[in-house]
Chains A and B, each alone.
Chain A
Amino acid sequence: NAGVTQTPKFRILKIGQSMTLQCTQDMNHNYMYWYRQDPGMGLKLIYYSVGAGITDKGEVPNGYNVSRSTTEDFPLRLELAAPSQTSVYFCASERGTNTGELFFGEGSRLTVL
Chain B
Amino acid sequence: GNSVTQMEGPVTLSEEAFLTINCTYTATGYPSLFWYVQYPGEGLQLLLKATKADDKGSNKGFEATYRKETTSFHLEKGSVQVSDSAVYFCALSDLSGNTGKLIFGQGTTLQVKP
A-side residues, CB < 8 A to B, are: 4, 31, 33, 35, 40-43, 45, 48, 50, 56, 58, 90, 92, 94, 97-102, 104-107
B99 is an interface residue with CB less than 8 A from chain A: yes
Given contacts A50-B99, A90-B43, A101-B49, 11 further A-B contacts (CB under 8 A): A35-B104, A40-B106, A42-B106, A43-B89, A45-B101, A48-B101, A98-B98, A100-B32, A100-B91, A102-B46, A102-B102
Contact partner of B101 (CB less than 8 A), chosen from A58, A106, A107, is A58
List of A residues within 8 angstroms of B36 by Cβ: 102
Given contacts A4-B43, A106-B41, contact A99 B100 (CB under 8 A): yes
Cα A98 to Cα B44 with chains together (Å): 18
B45 is an interface residue with CB less than 8 A from chain A: yes
